[in-house]
Amino acid sequence: MSEYPYGTAARLATQQAPSAPPALRVVHQPEGIDLAAAETAAGQFLEALGISTASESLRGTPGRMARAYAELFSPRPFDLTTFPNDEGYDELVLARRIPLRSVCEHHLLPFTGTAHVGYLPGSRILGLSKLARVVEHFACRPQVQERLTKQVADWLQTQLEPKGVGVVIEAEHSCMTLRGVQATGSSTMTSTMLGLLRSDARSRSEFLSLTGAAS
């Protein structure tokens, strides 16, 4: 029989095990946010378009506009927690239909949709909620969908070092549906594949099939 009680032995084993790498704190804080100046500018913008803010209903609109855009451009910080891939899992990990909202940098009008993000694990696996956090991190700024798709994929490839990464985004752009061509109901799909999800036809086909992008 061991000279140590079970609890003591377990604690000793934990102390001797290699320590996990610290979680990466991910923060994106837009520089120079000045809500007062933004509110003044929003009021001037509305007045320049012939919209008076003198009424009770519109008096607070410039401030609400400023706070709304500040929120749209300020993603929540998060910890990128990873865990050792002890079982050597080598199949696809996929988070489907992650809600997405961003702002078109050309018209500052929103676009909304879903993101499908998957990867083939290497030596470490990622906490599943972090895939949605990464999408939010890059979406909360003036964007174009093509760049957003690639930024999410490239960042995961760099930080996680998986065998492959795939990102598919499908979104409806209000700059296309509410103005200009007014193509109501149209959506735009973009994709980025890295590693085996780009070079291996079977892995790529599986990813696209599971996301629905292959249909």
Which residues are identified as catalytic?
104-107, 145, 173, 175
- Write the DSSP string, 16-79: HSPPPPPPEEE----TT--HHHHHHHHHHHHHHTT----STTTTTHHHHHHHHHHHHT-PPPEE
In whole angstroms, what is the distance from residue 214 CA to residue 165 CA? 17
Cβ-proximal residues to 148 (8 Å cutoff; 6+ apart), any chain? 102, 138, 139, 169, 190
Per-position b or e across 56-86, b if 16+ CB within 10 A of its CB:
eeeeebbbebbeebeebbebeebebebeeee
Q: For the chain, what percentages of helix, strand and coil (3-state, to nearest 5) are there?
A: 40, 25, 35
